[in-house]
Amino acid sequence: MDETCGAATLVCGTGPPLAVLCSSSGLQFLCSPNNGTGNWSSTAIPAMAMTPEHMRPHNSAFLGLGLALASTIFIGVSFILKKKGLMRLARAGSTRAGDGGHAYLKEWLWWAGLITMAVGEAANFAAYAFAPASLVTPLGALSILVTAVLAWCVLGERLEHLGRLGCLLSVLGAVVMVVHAPQDVEVASLNEMLIHLQDPAFITYAVLVVCVAVALAVIAVPRFGNSNVLVYVLICSTVGSLSVASVKGLSLVLKELFMGKSVFTQPLTWGLLISLIACITTQINYLNKALDTFSTHVVTPVYYVAFTSCVVICSAILFQEWRGVGAVDVLAMLSGFGTVVIGIFLLNVNSDASGGGGGGGGATNLDLSHHSASRRALLNNEEDDEDDDVEARSTRDPVSPGRMTLDRNPKFTKKAP
């Protein structure tokens, strides 16, 4: 259906709902499907009468950004609180968690850390309802930065020059990404989410992801799983991109639930939940295998690059977040992303050089099969800090798979008294 707006003619075709402002008439034309007819039509709505169902306010992206940043702070603080609690238990002579002890369950600092982490994860979950996934997901890596800085300031742990440079680069890269990221949220309701999920482009992407993941798990893992970190990481990243899409949809479920709408009677709600559980289970399984085989300072930056890239691709196909973004903004986003990657890499190198990190040697190449056996032997004999017993693996939280955490807290050498 066509609508005339000044000298331009608006043609309403297939695709996601789209609102277009006609300045000459003061109306906005909403392109949306006619239920039951399969046809598309445009509806003239006064600009002041547009509701969140038609067009999300510009400020929503800033709300999502604020929630994402708050989440990184809460997550970073949670690791420090749990670390402090475990250190207090160690000084009291309690049985370590690695030896079967559960004394940390009686330590209020540990519980404070757990609650703080839950708050951070909830904030990250909510951020997907207000901001593009291509903005929320990359910012998850900043929790590593927060943990490193707080470990230096609060715990008195050592942060070398490489680590400080990594912190600076991570912050600068994040700022660039925030400034140039897509600002508009394309999906405002479950009905719109269903329209996006039925898009042939996304269906093709989802089928391709499943085929690639199955092929890697069946063919590549037995042959190259112990020699190339990309095998495990690619499985986690491709499947993880679908989990972020599920989180985006479930955040809309919660939003409509709070608005008093009936969401549990809709098949889409349960489909998103089942998809999220399946994706998270797969992610955790293969990410733990990667961390058990390769050094953390290799897995962390490679996983961050692969996972974020897959999420951006999935978001571009499903939510069309990059529609209308200029070439300058795209280049700036890529530059900021690369800067954050370098910063995270330097933080992990700093951790490894200071006696922590992934427990592996100093190898930084992607083919580490000849180091795996000796590295695992060293892991079995080293004297770990108490936090390693509780947080010995890097996982993606089922609530916010966009969140990435170190498999160990930064273990820097203690300052000399």
Do residues 393 and 274 both lie within one domain?
yes
pTM of the predicted model as reported, rounded to 2 decimal places: 0.62
Do residues 344 and 260 both lie within one domain?
yes
Could you give the CA distance from residue 102 to residue 28 in angstroms, rounded to a whole number?
60
The range of the structural domain enclosing residue 43 comes to: 2-49
On average, the pLDDT of the chain sits at 72
* Number of compact structural domains in the chain: 2
Do residues 320 and 391 both lie within one domain?
yes
Residue whose C-alpha is closest to residue 378's, from 356, 406, 359:
359
Residue at token pair 């540990």: 110
Dump pLDDT digits (tens) for 270-286.
Answer: 999 999 999 989 988 89
Could you give the CA distance from residue 299 to residue 404 in angstroms, rounded to a whole number?
11
**pLDDT score of 3:** 44
Do residues 71 and 44 both lie within one domain?
no
pLDDT band at 95 (very low <50, low <70, confident <90, very high): low
Do residues 36 and 174 both lie within one domain?
no
Could you give the CA distance from residue 233 to residue 119 in angstroms, rounded to a whole number?
28
Dump pLDDT digits (tens) for 377-388.
Answer: 334 444 444 444
Instruction: Give the 3-state secondary structure percentages of the chain, helix then strand then coil, rounded to 5.
Output: 60, 5, 30
Please answer whether residues 229 and 298 qualify as being in contact, where contact means their C-beta atoms are separated by less than 8 angstroms: yes
Do residues 34 and 65 both lie within one domain?
no
pLDDT of residue 163 exceeding 70: yes
Dump pLDDT digits (tens) for 111-131.
Answer: 888 899 889 888 888 888 777
Do residues 358 and 330 both lie within one domain?
yes
Per-residue pLDDT, averaged over 132-152, amounts to 81
pLDDT of residue 35 exceeding 80: no
**pLDDT score of 216:** 94
> What residues pair up with 118 in beta bridges, in sequence order?
none
Do residues 310 and 410 both lie within one domain?
yes
Q: What 3-state class would DSSP assign to 215?
A: helix
Do residues 67 and 42 both lie within one domain?
no
Do residues 309 and 334 both lie within one domain?
yes
DSSP-derived letter for residue 34 is P
Residue type, 91: R
DSSP-derived letter for residue 407 is S
Could you give the CA distance from residue 245 to residue 137 in angstroms, rounded to a whole number?
11
Do residues 412 and 365 both lie within one domain?
yes
Do residues 128 and 26 both lie within one domain?
no
Dump pLDDT digits (tens) for 364-373.
Answer: 333 333 333 3
Q: What Cα–Cα distance (Å) separates residue 194 from each residue in 81, 268, 318, 355? A: 41, 7, 10, 49
20: phi then psi, degrees, rounded to nearest 5: -125, 130
